[in-house]
């Protein structure tokens, strides 16, 4: 069996699972990513073929927090999907951290954007692959 991904999944904490679900269901749909699993009222998993991106209430019952220097990057099938994600995220209440554009310092084929969700988590969506 060949495994292509280096990661099994990524989880982000939230203090309001319903609000996070509304936000991510709307924006991830632009990338063909849907809810694949739920665990009671504490976690939701999104993905294309398997649960890769989780939203969850912190298990220690303390407030969720944002990691300084941490972000999650989603792969888009094309530039139009990056643009669609960006607009959907802004419409759903995200903060702009960098509009869709080429960024040659990430590679000659890179096209992406950066946002912050309502929790403050930094989110990147990109198409193309870094060539360095």
Question: pLDDT, tens digit, for every residue of 3-50?
Answer: 667 788 999 999 999 999 999 999 999 999 999 999 999 999 999 999
Which tens digit of pLDDT belongs to each residue from 75-116? 999 999 999 999 999 999 999 999 999 999 988 899 999 999
How far apart CA 129 and CA 66 sit, in angstroms, is 26
**Residue 114, strand partner residues:** 98, 124
- pLDDT band of residue 131 (cuts 50, 70, 90) is low
- pLDDT band of residue 132 (cuts 50, 70, 90) is very low
State if pTM tops 0.95.
no
Q: So what's the pLDDT on residue 50?
A: 93
- pLDDT band of residue 120 (cuts 50, 70, 90) is very high
Q: What is the second-level CATH architecture of the domain 10-58+70-127?
A: Roll (3.10)
Q: So what's the pLDDT on residue 6?
A: 77
Q: So what's the pLDDT on residue 107?
A: 87
Q: Is the pLDDT of residue 54 over 50?
A: yes
Token pair 């869709």 in the structure block, residue: 100
Q: So what's the pLDDT on residue 1?
A: 60
Task: List the end-to-end C-alpha distance of the chain, in Å, as a whole number.
Answer: 27
Q: How far is CA 36 from CA 9, 21, 90, 105, 124, in A?
A: 13, 12, 24, 35, 21
Cα atoms in the 13 Å half-sphere on the side-chain side of 97: 18
Q: Where do the domains of the chain lie?
A: 10-58+70-127
């Amino acid at each position: 069996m060949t495994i292509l991904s280096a990661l099994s999944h990524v989880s982000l904490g939230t203090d309001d699972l319903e609000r996070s679900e509304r936000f991510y269901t709307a924006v991830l749909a632009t990338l063909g990513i849907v809810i694949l699993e739920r665990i009671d009222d504490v976690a939701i998993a999104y993905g294309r073929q398997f649960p890769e991106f989780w939203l969850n209430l912190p298990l220690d019952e303390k407030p969720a927090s944002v990691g300084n220097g941490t972000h999650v990057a989603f792969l888009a099938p094309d530039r139009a999907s990056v643009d669609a994600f960006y607009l959907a995220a802004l419409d759903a209440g995200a903060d702009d951290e960098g509009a869709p554009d080429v960024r040659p310092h990430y590679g000659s084929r890179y096209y992406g954007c950066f946002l912050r969700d309502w929790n403050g988590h930094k989110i990147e969506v990109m198409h193309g692959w870094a060539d360095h």
